[in-house]
Structure 1
Amino acid sequence: MSMISLDIIQTISLSVLVLLLGRSLVKKIHFLEKYSIPAPVVGGLIFALLALVLKQGNILEFEFDTTLQNVAMTMFFTSVGFSASFSVLKKGGIKVIIFLVAAVGLIILQNILGVSLAVLLGQNSLLGLATGSVPMTGGHGTAGAFGPLIAEAGVKGADTIAIAAATFGLVAGGLLGGPTANRLIRKYHLSPTKDPKNTVKNELIDETATTEEKRLIPGNFSTATFELLIAMGIGTIFSSIIQGWKITLPSYIGAMLAGAIIRNISDSTKKYDVPMTEIDILGGISLSLFLAMALMTLKLWELADLAIPMIVMLLGQVALAFLYTNFITFRMLGKDYDAAVLAAGHCGFGLGATPNGVANMEAVTANYGPSPTAFFVLPLVGAMFIDFCNSFIIVFFMNIL
């Protein structure tokens, strides 16, 4: 069998081609667009399937230099750290805090369920994390980061399983949200509130606005790049200190902490600016490149022996998300119309990604009426806090196990 070895430049170049292929297919195939399947996931999986066919046919095998994959991953999670503004959390009001607590509760239960099912099925307990909050609440970004770490800890194919579980979660979360909200709205006879307080403050809209809505300043991109790189450098020091305490953690945790510190010092002192729009854009680019490389280097042949346990664990996660959003999220948020819309959003958010949660809420409100509170609360928690919390909870579980 022939071997093709790609160096660092060839690998990153191929990942861009894979990403562009994914973008093209997402635009053309309605199913992929409807369920917000990320373009690098689409392109990367196609390449991984091609690599599987070539390897199984004893024709060709690829070898990659994935040095830049770790750099891109670290830059993305550093941008997540910069988004963790505690002043914004405080201004967001009680519902933001309640929803964050609810989301953290689901993260903990996802990992407890995943580990329990793994043990019951006679598998390594760490496999439960690869189908728990790593791919579910975490999505493809967290799956790509923690999957290899779980694999290094002794779970063969954990990186592939985590990515596959994240893809399953995106679809399942999109399918579950609508029925959840319909059930709650009809059972409790809910309707949109007329309360004028149910609006979002302008200053908070600005914090969570999409990059298309914000004015981009070219000079800010250099500032954003420099701040990200500084945080990444400081983060290596933080990580080495934490690892000295014999705590297992991914390499980006220190950088994420550094980003959060730099952001919150800026918020409190106003001594320097943190251009979040540009940081978010750079983080998004990094995430796309990281995912493209992570997906195209998957070893799908490692999934065969774990197919049945993985299916059982994933179905368990769907059942948990349904029960949790119906009986915990909905009740914690007040059992009103906004709570029902947020429960639908939490299905997509807790099984896939923030865009899935927003898409679920859009479908519900198109039928029943607006919910400004829901459309403020979920994106704020999803964009600024949940990845930060999830990473530390996963690290906690890994070190216990």
Structure 2
Amino acid sequence: MTTLQLDNAWTLVAAVATILLGMRIHRACPALDRANIPPAVSAGLLLSVLLALLRAGGIVDLRLAAAPRDVLLLVFFASLGFGAHLGRLATAGRGALVICLAVVLVAVGQNLAGMLLASAFGQPAALGLFAGSAAYLGGHGTATAWASAAPVEGALEVGLGSATLGLVLGGLVAGPVAAWLARRGDGGSGVADAAGLPVPHADAHDAAAPVRASPFSSDRWLLPLLGLLACVAAGPQLRALLAAQGWQAPTFLLVLLAAVVLTNGVDAARRPFDTEATDLVGTLALRIFLALAMLALDWAELAGQLPLLLSGALVQVLVTAAVGLAVVYTLFGRGREGAVACGGFIGFSMGAMPIGLAVMRRLQATFGDAPRAMLAITLAASLFTDTANALILTALLRWLGVA
């Protein structure tokens, strides 16, 4: 079998081509757009199956470079930080608490469901944690880290398999559920103009904002791009500095925090960044990241634990959707904001933060802006999820006598 290792440049070419293919697929099948499924997920899922068949047939093994995906994730989280203005926290305070509550409930629910399912299949209950929040709420990195820390046979395979299925299901389930909620109306929480269209959310600086240059002017891009790249560069250095003091923190979180500090610093100096530019850069990074994540799926490796994995995926969809509907949508105030928050919550709780944010952005493009939902999900999920998940996993592993 021929092994084809793509370098960084060709990996990016493959990702962008995947997105363009997804856009063509959506034009041919408008139902995918109506379901708010990102084109990168649609085409990436199709291509990952095709690549798995080629690999299983001994024809070719296509491997992507890992570096672009890591960098794109940092760029995306830096762009999120530039949108987290502390002056707007008052409007997201209650929403952020709702998301934190939902994160705790979904972590406990996913783990209990995983433990019961593993026991039903005759496996150790501890293995169920890797079909629970270690994989779904945590993702591939968290599942791998916990599998190396906990001496549970099969944990790595189940964790990676569950995280992979969660990545797919997060994009496939969150959009349709949230779109259904938004179309229900339920009184709507958004403001509409006389024609019934959403009124754009006004920025605090809009009234005094100068006339902007063309979006294609390089002068307009230089300062925001400098700030974004500085935060991405600072992330690994901050992580090493904290590690030397005995503190562990993910690089993407430190990049986000650096961007939050920087953007609020320039806000205080009354020289705000052009967030339209940073948002566009972050959106592009997000779309390419999703395409790379989907292309990297290896379905052949999932075969060994397929019954447990598929059963777990179905159960976790029900658990996560139930928490999203009963807690996030209800307590967030229903309407458009509640629907968008529910979609984002299901997306990141099943798959990954970028999937949740991608679902939310597509929902906003369809139904109108939901600034409270975006801010609450961005801050609460990014800053709270990893810590809460780690504490819950530690407590359950100790209770089971594994750690």
Q: Which runs of 5+ in 2 are unaligned?
A: 119-123, 150-154, 348-355, 398-403
Which residue of structure 2 aligns with residue 129 of structure 1?
Answer: 133
The Cα shift of 1:380 comes to: 3.9
- Residues 148, 158 of structure 1: 8 Å contact kept: yes
Q: How many positions carry a matched residue from both structures?
A: 366
The Cα shift of 1:169 comes to: 3.0
1:110 to 1:305, Cα distance in 2 relative to 1, 3 A = farther
SS at match of 2:137: coil
The Cα shift of 1:227 comes to: 0.9
CA-to-partner distance for each residue in 1:90-141, whole Å, 9 max, x for gaps? Answer: 3x3xxx322221112112222222223333313252442255334xxxxxxx
The Cα shift of 1:388 comes to: 4.2
% identical aligned pairs: 18
1:326 to 1:24, Cα distance in 2 relative to 1, 3 A = closer
1:329 to 1:302, Cα distance in 2 relative to 1, 3 A = same
Provide the rounded CA distance (Å) in 1 between the counterparts of 2:321 and 2:98: 14
Superposed counterparts of 1:25-174, under 5 Å: 25-90=25-90, 92=91, 96-120=92-116, 121=118, 122=124, 123=127, 125-134=129-138, 143=139, 155-156=156-157, 158-159=159-160, 161-174=162-175
Provide the rounded CA distance (Å) in 1 between the counterparts of 2:225 and 2:285: 12
Provide the rounded CA distance (Å) in 2 between the counterparts of 1:319 and 1:220: 46
Provide the rounded CA distance (Å) in 1 between the counterparts of 2:224 and 2:190: 40
Which residue of structure 2 aligns with residue 306 of structure 1?
Answer: 305
Provide the rounded CA distance (Å) in 2 between the counterparts of 1:115 and 1:55: 33
- Residues 5, 64 of structure 1: 8 Å contact kept: yes
Q: Does 1:294 align with 2:293?
A: yes
Provide the rounded CA distance (Å) in 2 between the counterparts of 1:104 and 1:129: 15
The Cα shift of 1:170 comes to: 3.4
- Residues 173, 351 of structure 1: 8 Å contact kept: yes
Note the aligned Cα RMSD (angstroms): 4.0
Provide the rounded CA distance (Å) in 2 between the counterparts of 1:18 and 1:249: 32
The Cα shift of 1:155 comes to: 1.9
Which residue of structure 1 aligns with residue 3 of structure 2?
Answer: 3
Match of 1:378 among 367, 373, 378: 373
- Residues 113, 132 of structure 1: 8 Å contact kept: no
**Which amino acid counterpart does residue 118 of structure 1 have in structure 2?**
G
1:266 to 1:345, Cα distance in 2 relative to 1, 3 A = same
Provide the rounded CA distance (Å) in 2 between the counterparts of 1:47 and 1:191: 38
- Residues 214, 277 of structure 1: 8 Å contact kept: no
Provide the rounded CA distance (Å) in 2 between the counterparts of 1:308 and 1:205: 54
Worse overlay, 55-64 or 390-399:
390-399
Provide the rounded CA distance (Å) in 2 between the counterparts of 1:195 and 1:29: 30
Which residue of structure 2 aligns with residue 139 of structure 1?
Answer: none
Provide the rounded CA distance (Å) in 1 between the counterparts of 2:59 and 2:81: 44
**Which amino acid counterpart does residue 40 of structure 2 have in structure 1?**
P
Superposed counterparts of 1:226-375, under 5 Å: 226-244=226-244, 249-270=249-270, 272-325=271-324, 327-329=326-328, 332-333=331-332, 338-339=333-334, 342-352=337-347, 353=356, 356=359, 375=370
**Which amino acid counterpart does residue 67 of structure 2 have in structure 1?**
T
- Residues 22, 40 of structure 1: 8 Å contact kept: yes
SS at match of 1:133: coil
- Residues 85, 264 of structure 2: 8 Å contact kept: yes
Which residue of structure 2 aligns with residue 210 of structure 1?
Answer: none
SS at match of 1:18: helix
The Cα shift of 1:231 comes to: 0.9
**Which amino acid counterpart does residue 304 of structure 2 have in structure 1?**
D
Q: Which runs of 5+ in 1 are unaligned?
A: 135-142, 208-212, 366-371
Which residue of structure 2 aligns with residue 202 of structure 1?
Answer: 202
